[in-house]
Amino acid sequence: MHIDFSPEDLAFRDEVRTFIAENYPAELRGKQDEGDELSKEDFLSWHRILHKKGWVAPAWPVEYGGTGWTPTQRFIFSEEIARADCIRLMPFGLSMVGPVIYTFGTPEQKAKFLPRILSGEDWWCQGYSEPGAGSDLASLRTKAERDGDDYIVNGQKTWTTMAQHADWGFFLVRTNPDVKQQEGISFLLIDMKSPGIEVRPIITLGGEHEVNEVFLDNVRVPMSNRVYEEDKGWTCAKFLLAHERTGIAGVASSKRGIEKIKEIATSEMDGERALLANPFFRRKVAELEMDLTALEYTELRTLAGEAAGKGPGPESSVLKIKGSEIQQRITELALEAAGHYGAPYFRGFGEGDNEHPIGPDWAHRTAPSYFNMRKTTIYGGSNEVQRGIIAKMVLGL
């Protein structure tokens, strides 16, 4: 595969790099450096800047607001975003439900929802997982029953990321209990301000309010908010999950994560020699870099396939497995480098008027990052399920 950048690509890279340097919010950068919890407005501030520039949805078709970039330009853009430590845009609208709507939605749904996803006016959440229906998503029990021109929805969703901020959610619901599980599911767009919706926080081990439980009690949803055919929502679900799994790979951000590990490991701490002088630690970093390089080539092949009109297929499962495992290994190495300064972690520990956290600043976030990244091999379809998909769809077993 030829991946040398052309003069035009290098000029594009410089344009992106300059734009980020001149436009990324200084206040947002300060919060990131301090490890502060980011608000909805923090995430939207960068989203709006990219939207104004026309760069908020590089993967979308041009007719719906995409950039029309080549796969190489999209790769460069993701590299530069990660290189500058920009926050990740929330994927639920841009990378998940947006592609479902412009692929399967009605003209009215496209006109109503797509512009507001691009602008950030609507913040989306994902209503897939349920208690007892996570990896086995097809066994979901949240039901939707017809009542005139509406559905009445009852049930519970869990691990709903950022639902506390959401204006809208896309939900998988059971509309026919008398057929094969996958054939009785529909894909609904639900206003999160509807009567009967309750969002309850789930606080993570790192102390963050990132995920939630969502309860739906006789929630009325217009049938016009159903995407695609009734009982055929599994088609939308599979399409969306393929896009989600491709995005989970996070190659660019992992490359930046390894760079940070190497920066940390080349400095002395407590008078001890640099960690990279330790052959065992150095070998772990080298193995991680080799695995990430292999994953990068797979991602480039996927981007090239998309540019040729081929949607993400079974290779998205490969990206998801390796990408999530690499992300976990990066946090493990960071925690290993932090040593006793990284654990135990207590939010607010050592932070007072006359107190300072013990140890280097970078070490204080290693434990919560480690805990938080345990989820990556589970969400988007657990890695065990992805191996089953590869065995069936790629190896023919």
**Active site positions, annotated:** 244
Q: Which amino acid is at 375?
A: K
Long-range contacts formed by 355-362: CB under 8 A, 24+ apart: 360/269, 362/260, 362/264, 362/338
Long-range contacts formed by 117-121: CB under 8 A, 24+ apart: 117/57, 117/93, 118/51, 118/56, 118/57, 118/65, 118/94, 119/48, 119/51, 120/44, 120/47, 120/48, 120/51, 120/56, 121/167
Q: How far apart are CA 122 and CA 212, in angstroms?
A: 18
Answer whether 342's CB lies under 8 Å from 362's CB: no
Phi, psi of 147 (to 5 degrees): -145, 90
Answer whether 56's CB lies under 8 Å from 36's CB: no
Cis bond upstream, residue 344 (ω within 30): yes
Distances (CA, A) of 80 to 84, 86, 244: 6, 9, 21
Unique residue bearing structure tokens 């436009």: 23
Q: How far apart are CA 295 and CA 318, in angstroms?
A: 9
The neighbour count for residue 165, using CB atoms within 10 Å, is 18
Token pair for 41? 């407005």
Q: How far apart are CA 336 and CA 363, in angstroms?
A: 10
Q: How far apart are CA 192 and CA 167, in angstroms?
A: 5
Q: How far apart are CA 13 and CA 148, in angstroms?
A: 54
- Quick one: the chain helix, strand, coil %, rounded to 5? 55, 15, 30
